[in-house]
């Protein structure tokens, strides 16, 4: 009889505990007791002084990948943009004499007794004299005995030789003149940035190519597909990846005096979202931002680096790549995007990885810097997500009921 009277009191206490827990949850939500690492959406909206109207959805083009689309996309990816080969003023085969250069001048005469008497006339054959080394002054000139001041800046040594010879021909005996650049101090280029030995050096008489200049500076510190080379010529700059210069000989241009070459490490990256393995589960990678491992990374390689598709969640028929494309690409595949408001057209490429040709296309599709990969979830996954909290709630209710009835 005692147990019959005690059972209702236990049952009441359990209901009271459950009710109290519900009340506390609601109260703590209002009082801000539940820990949060940032304001929630409601707090942000409630405390805003002004709320602007939402923008209209950004129009985009959805393109299931086929051979035509694949070819058009890769053609844009393979394009180098501004070509170094089109940079003006880089065709110096022989660098001209410049201010600061040091020249050697040797004058030959046909026979002894002429204008110049060598100091070693009695101990060596030949009638020639070496003029003391001349440094090109700020006016671009040098001074030669009996020939006077000669403007040499901007000319080559052969032209200067002819000028000196013409000025001496009426005083010396059939003079011949040889002019050479002993030290180039004005026709120099600088190679800076992510190279092993940043330095400044003169242009070779036969010309100096871009890659040769980088080699003189010790080469890049990082892989060529992670390093951009910026060529500053005059008031303009031009930028390419070093890998593009290596692969395309026309990009390996001749440098001009005063050029500045600057190497910068700019790793290319892509992001992977959706139904790929959770961050940290693949190779210790703890985020969804990955770097390229070569100059021509394909979508298949990118998916492999991100851990592939999650077999328990992924919809293999819907793998997407998001990027902005130039309008000329859309026109090349027959799409009219004249009404789009953006300069470049937002494009979404769709791959069906449930079919073998989807994998071939993914292995041929060239990735670009800051591409976004999104793997859609299977419809069954959404159903499982909805059912999970319901299942948890019914399980908890059953557990509570079993405790109550057991008393």
Q: How far is CA 296 from the centre of its chain?
A: 13
Amino acid 174: pLDDT: 87
* pLDDT over 50 at 291, yes or no: yes
> Which band of pLDDT confidence, cut at 50, 70 and 90, is reported for residue 281?
low
pTM of the predicted model, to two decimals?
Answer: 0.69
* pLDDT over 50 at 4, yes or no: no
* pLDDT over 70 at 370, yes or no: yes
Q: Give residue-wise pLDDT tens across range 160-175.
A: 999 999 999 888 888 8
Over pLDDT 70: what percentage of the chain?
78
Q: At the fourth CATH level, which superfamily is domain 269-383?
A: Outer membrane lipoprotein wza domain like (3.10.560.10)
Query: Could you tell me which CATH number the domain at 102-183 has?
Result: 3.30.1950.10
84-92+187-265 against 269-383: fold identical: yes
* pLDDT over 50 at 319, yes or no: yes
For domain 84-92+187-265, the CATH architecture is Roll (3.10)
HSE value, Cβ hemisphere, 13 Å, CA-based, for 130: 6
Angle at 237 between CA 234 and CA 243, to 5 degrees: 130
- The two three-digit tokens of residue 394, written as one number: 């019914």
Structural domain boundaries of the chain? Answer: 84-92+187-265, 102-183, 269-383
* pLDDT over 70 at 303, yes or no: yes
Mean pLDDT of all residues in 393-406: 65
* pLDDT over 80 at 29, yes or no: no
> Which band of pLDDT confidence, cut at 50, 70 and 90, is reported for residue 9?
very low
Amino acid 3: pLDDT: 46
* pLDDT over 80 at 94, yes or no: no
Mean pLDDT of all residues in 343-361: 94
């Amino acid at each position: 009889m005692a147990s019959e009277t005690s059972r209702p009191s236990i049952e009441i206490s359990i209901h009271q505990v459950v009710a109290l827990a519900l009340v506390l949850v609601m109260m703590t939500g209002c009082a801000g007791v539940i820990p949060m690492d940032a304001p929630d959406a409601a707090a942000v909206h409630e405390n805003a002084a002004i709320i602007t109207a939402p923008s209209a959805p950004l129009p985009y083009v959805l393109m299931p990948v086929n051979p035509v689309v694949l070819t058009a996309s890769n053609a844009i990816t393979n394009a180098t943009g501004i070509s170094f080969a089109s940079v003006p003023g880089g065709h110096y085969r022989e660098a001209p004499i410049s201010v600061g250069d040091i020249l050697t001048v040797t004058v030959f005469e046909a026979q002894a007794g002429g204008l110049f008497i060598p100091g070693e006339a009695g101990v060596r054959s030949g009638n020639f004299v070496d003029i003391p080394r001349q440094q090109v002054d700020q006016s671009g000139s040098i001074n030669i005995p009996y020939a006077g001041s000669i403007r040499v800046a901007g000319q080559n040594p052969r032209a200067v030789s002819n000028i000196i010879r013409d000025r001496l021909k009426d005083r010396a005996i059939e003079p011949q003149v040889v002019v050479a650049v002993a030290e180039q101090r004005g026709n120099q280029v600088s190679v800076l940035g992510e190279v092993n030995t940043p330095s400044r050096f003169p242009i070779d008489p036969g010309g100096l190519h871009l890659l040769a200049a980088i080699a003189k500076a010790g080469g890049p510190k990082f892989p060529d597909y992670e390093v951009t080379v910026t060529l500053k010529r005059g008031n303009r700059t031009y930028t390419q990846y070093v890998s593009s210069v290596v692969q395309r000989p026309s990009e390996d241009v001749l440098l001009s005096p005063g050029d500045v070459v600057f190497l910068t490490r700019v790793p290319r990256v892509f992001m992977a979202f959706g139904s790929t393995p959770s961050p940290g589960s693949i190779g210790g990678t703890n985020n969804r931002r990955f770097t390229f491992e070569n100059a021509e990374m394909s979508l298949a390689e990118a998916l492999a680096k991100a851990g592939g598709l999650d077999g328990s969640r992924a919809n293999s028929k819907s793998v997407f790549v998001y990027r902005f494309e130039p309008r000329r690409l859309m026109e090349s595949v027959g799409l009219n995007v004249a009404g789009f408001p953006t300069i470049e057209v937002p494009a979404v490429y769709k791959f069906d990885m449930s079919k073998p040709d989807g994998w071939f296309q993914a292995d041929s599709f060239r990735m670009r810097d800051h591409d976004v990969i999104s793997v859609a979830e299977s419809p069954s996954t959404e159903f499982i997500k909805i059912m999970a909290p319901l299942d948890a709630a019914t399980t908890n209710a059953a557990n509570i009921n079993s405790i109550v009835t057991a008393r």
